[in-house]
A and B are shown apart, each in its own frame.
Chain A
Amino acid sequence: MLAPALGFILTFILYPLGLNFSTSFQHRVFTEPMANQFVGLANYVKIATDPTFWLVLRQSALWVTGSLAFQFLLGLALALLLNERFPARGLYRSLILSPWAISGVIIAIMWKWMYNPQVGVLNEILVRLGLVSHRLAFLADPSTALPAVIFTNIWRGTPFFAVILLAALQTVPKELYETAAMDGAGPWQRFLHVTLPSIVPMIFAALLLRTIWIFNDVDLIFVMTDGGPVRASETLATFLYKKASRDLDFGMGSALAMVMFAILMTITALYYRAFRRSGRMF
């Protein structure tokens, strides 16, 4: 009975992982087929001593934490709002999903043009409202390129949290709120002591999933800035893609992939540890 599951895991998870692990110890560049050879830890040493790697790692941390924090907070706020009764609630619940339903590439193209200083609507609004004295090249300025892409990612990812947390809120028994209210708890206390503890498992699951997805995401960055200008918006995922796909250096690409894998496994392990400490089973 276990055979099909084991077969799936072996074929689609362990084999590719093993092959990637093996390639990470080799010099394997497509345009140098005669130079393929085992090089031990050389690729990992190159990574550790490459200033670009540490730069993109820092930027990856910014990319993930910046996107995640605001996606979660805004998603929770939206979920709490949509959990209340008001006219046309059903329509708003449908509309809230629309950024999530659109392809990442379309979102990136749309926002890229919106940010354009010459023809983009954002600058037009800012200038007409008198909020800026000159047009801002959000994606062409190294100091604003990554924040601008993070903002787009927040717009895209907030619906995910809104939907997941709304579903979680709807499982909280109303009697708990009634009991708390009878005991004199105000709205904020009910939120802290009834709502939050009840939905913590869903919060952790959503946060973990989104952390992994955002860490691996490349579509917005590629289309909007291609990691530029001058790597100002480069993350580990886009750096890895360029190494493997553009430079055709599969040895280095595999080593970077193993580093990313190790980082994500560490994050997952920390999550499980925190979760177990809180005494909740997931």
Chain B
Amino acid sequence: MRMVSRLVFAFGLFLALAALLPAVAAAQAKPVTTTFWDAEPADLVKLRMEILKGFEAKYPHIKINYLNIPYAEARQKLVTAAATKTLPDTMFFQATWLGEFAAMGELLDLGPYAEKWPGGKNLLPQVFSVGKAYKNTLYYLPSEFQIDALFYRADWFKEAGIKGPPTTWAEFLDAAKKLTDPAKNRYGFSMRGAGGNERYYIMWMLMANGNVFFEKDGSLGLLNHGGMDGLKWYLELCTVHQVCTPNSVNNSFLENTAEFSSGTAAMYIHNQYSVARQIKAFGGTVEAAREKFGTAAIPRGPKGRYIAANFTNGYVIFKQSAHPEETWELVKWMLSPENDSKFSQTTGALPANKSVYDEAWFKGNPFLAVFKQQLDDPAGSFNFPIQMAKWNSLIAGPLKEEFQKGLLKQQSAEATGQAIGKAISDALK
């Protein structure tokens, strides 16, 4: 009996020491400071700082030097920092920057870290497939997904007696024509013709050609297999059928959103960030908003499929980091289900953790289901070639301008397609 008591006591002491040891180790660990940049809007900074405070409480020996940069300046600041060797340890990073910064040799391979991380099993497989876009090396860990869907005015459809939402291109065009009435300042579709326009016309081309961006030999396949027809169809919405709002060529997503909520456009395409804005614009509650608008899958193309563009933001660790191990702890913290959920609930982004999708806030919002459906469909979502070092300058330059020329009828749809194809092919060399 005495022996048993001693054993129990010894075991209890062992458990107590095991529980205390990490805290003791952390307290005795050398204090380090890790620098974290992000470009979130000002209204998210408070949430970000709360999450970072939680990290510092858990890891008292790691201090975060946090800097929030205005989004419009973030890439410029990163480029300058890369030139002057003053990059932070980690950053909340945009996917389109991956190719150029990886090509510069500035990103750390996160593969060895992720392999040893049990939490990685809870992440969507898309996190790793997108994260390994550059030379099949995990330089990037997406933490949020933005996937596009169709926003449509359910009340206009009902008023016009149109069965909505449209599920095919033909239904989409038919609805857009019926809902266009310039005398009443109403148009069927608000097209994005300014920065970011490539997301949508490339989607249309891929729907037409069976989702072939690159051929098997690595050459550009976007124009092939019917891709050019898809571009022509999409352009003709504005140039022939005239169902687009007059400002379409200069529209960013802000104008698209405003035209929809102000009652001048019946449909537009955007990601789930628009859901919260439109709920606010149409009554402030899900119940009130459902009377006015709905979300639906992108209408299916001639090959019977929809393709939705997938865009991500996430985390990288820069090679210049003097504390990669500690910085990795921070990245894991940001990607934990608890913090992933907090962020997604506030930003409207699709989270990276599988378990978060089972939470009540996601399941209870009927507008969000279609985005997850498209994200989960491997044949229905498309990731842009962010591994290309020149992708970012392509989308800001020729891919935007050539499409605008087509929209303004300064060149034919065929010439537009050829110019876009040439720009991408030249960048591949």
Binding site for B on A (CB under 8 A): 30-33, 116-119, 134-137, 139-140, 142, 145, 225-226, 228-231, 242, 245-248
Return the contact of A245 from the options B76, B246, B249, B259 (Cβ within 8 A).
Answer: B76
Chain B residue nearest to A135 in the complex (CB): B246
A226 touches B195 (CB 8 A): yes
Chain B residue nearest to A119 in the complex (CB): B262
In the bound complex, residues from chain A placing their C-beta under 8 Å from that of B82 are 30
Closest 4 CB pairs of A and B: A140-B250, A118-B264, A31-B389, A137-B246
In the bound complex, residues from chain B placing their C-beta under 8 Å from that of A135 are 185, 246
Assembly CA distance A156 to B361 (angstroms):
46
The B contact surface, by secondary structure, is helix
Return the contact of B246 from the options A30, A117, A228, A246 (Cβ within 8 A).
Answer: A117
B193 touches A118 (CB 8 A): no
Return the contact of A229 from the options B245, B249, B262, B393 (Cβ within 8 A).
Answer: B249
The A contact surface, by secondary structure, is loop
A229 touches B408 (CB 8 A): yes
Contacts A137-B246, A228-B249 supplied; 6 other A-B pairs, CB < 8 Å: A33-B104, A118-B255, A119-B264, A140-B246, A145-B250, A230-B404
In the bound complex, residues from chain B placing their C-beta under 8 Å from that of A136 are 246
B245 touches A228 (CB 8 A): no
In the bound complex, residues from chain B placing their C-beta under 8 Å from that of A116 are 247, 255, 258
Assembly CA distance A33 to B405 (angstroms):
33
In the bound complex, residues from chain A placing their C-beta under 8 Å from that of B410 are 142, 230
Binding site for A on B (CB under 8 A): 75-76, 79, 82-83, 99-100, 103-105, 182, 185, 193-195, 245-251, 255, 258-259, 262, 264-265, 389-390, 392-393, 396-397, 400-401, 404-405, 407-408, 410
In the bound complex, residues from chain B placing their C-beta under 8 Å from that of A140 are 193, 246-251
Return the contact of B397 from the options A31, A33, A137, A247 (Cβ within 8 A).
Answer: A247
B245 touches A118 (CB 8 A): yes
In the bound complex, residues from chain B placing their C-beta under 8 Å from that of A119 are 258-259, 262, 264
Chain A residue nearest to B251 in the complex (CB): A140
B250 touches A230 (CB 8 A): no
Assembly CA distance A137 to B246 (angstroms):
6
Pick the most buried of A117, A137, A225, A248: most chain B CB atoms within 10 A of its CB: A248
A118 touches B76 (CB 8 A): no
In the bound complex, residues from chain A placing their C-beta under 8 Å from that of B262 are 118-119
Chain A residue nearest to B195 in the complex (CB): A226
Return the contact of B247 from the options A30, A33, A139 (Cβ within 8 A).
Answer: A139
In the bound complex, residues from chain A placing their C-beta under 8 Å from that of B390 are 31, 247
In the bound complex, residues from chain A placing their C-beta under 8 Å from that of B245 are 117-118
Assembly CA distance A231 to B185 (angstroms):
28
Assembly CA distance A3 to B332 (angstroms):
53
Assembly CA distance A145 to B250 (angstroms):
10
Assembly CA distance A117 to B393 (angstroms):
29
Assembly CA distance A30 to B195 (angstroms):
23
A118 touches B246 (CB 8 A): yes
Assembly CA distance A242 to B185 (angstroms):
35
Assembly CA distance A135 to B396 (angstroms):
28
Return the contact of A226 from the options B105, B182, B194 (Cβ within 8 A).
Answer: B194
Chain A residue nearest to B407 in the complex (CB): A229
Q: Contacts A137-B246, A140-B248; is A248 near B79 (CB within 8 Å)?
A: yes
Q: Contacts A31-B389, A246-B397; is A228 near B404 (CB within 8 Å)?
A: yes
In the bound complex, residues from chain A placing their C-beta under 8 Å from that of B79 are 30, 245, 248
Q: Contacts A137-B247, A248-B79; is A142 near B408 (CB within 8 Å)?
A: yes
Shortest distance between the CB of B190 and any CB in chain A (Å): 8
Assembly CA distance A145 to B393 (angstroms):
23
B76 touches A229 (CB 8 A): no
Assembly CA distance A145 to B194 (angstroms):
13
A118 touches B392 (CB 8 A): no
Assembly CA distance A116 to B258 (angstroms):
10
Assembly CA distance A32 to B194 (angstroms):
28
Assembly CA distance A33 to B101 (angstroms):
11
B185 touches A118 (CB 8 A): yes
Assembly CA distance A117 to B407 (angstroms):
17
Chain A residue nearest to B186 in the complex (CB): A118
A118 touches B259 (CB 8 A): yes
In the bound complex, residues from chain B placing their C-beta under 8 Å from that of A33 are 104-105
The 17 listed contacts between A and B (C-beta, < 8 Å) are A31-B100, A32-B103, A116-B247, A116-B255, A118-B245, A118-B255, A118-B262, A118-B265, A119-B259, A119-B264, A137-B250, A142-B408, A228-B250, A229-B194, A230-B405, A246-B397, A247-B393
Shortest distance between the CB of A240 and any CB in chain B (Å): 14
In the bound complex, residues from chain A placing their C-beta under 8 Å from that of B182 are 134
Assembly CA distance A36 to B195 (angstroms):
30
A30 touches B265 (CB 8 A): no
In the bound complex, residues from chain A placing their C-beta under 8 Å from that of B104 are 30-31, 33
Assembly CA distance A118 to B263 (angstroms):
9
Chain B residue nearest to A228 in the complex (CB): B404
Shortest distance between the CB of A195 and any CB in chain B (Å): 43
Shortest distance between the CB of B395 and any CB in chain A (Å): 9
B248 touches A228 (CB 8 A): no
In the bound complex, residues from chain A placing their C-beta under 8 Å from that of B389 are 31-32
Assembly CA distance A265 to B130 (angstroms):
49
In the bound complex, residues from chain A placing their C-beta under 8 Å from that of B246 are 117-118, 135-137, 140
In the bound complex, residues from chain A placing their C-beta under 8 Å from that of B195 are 226
B250 touches A229 (CB 8 A): yes
B83 touches A30 (CB 8 A): yes
In the bound complex, residues from chain B placing their C-beta under 8 Å from that of A245 are 75-76, 79
Assembly CA distance A282 to B106 (angstroms):
51
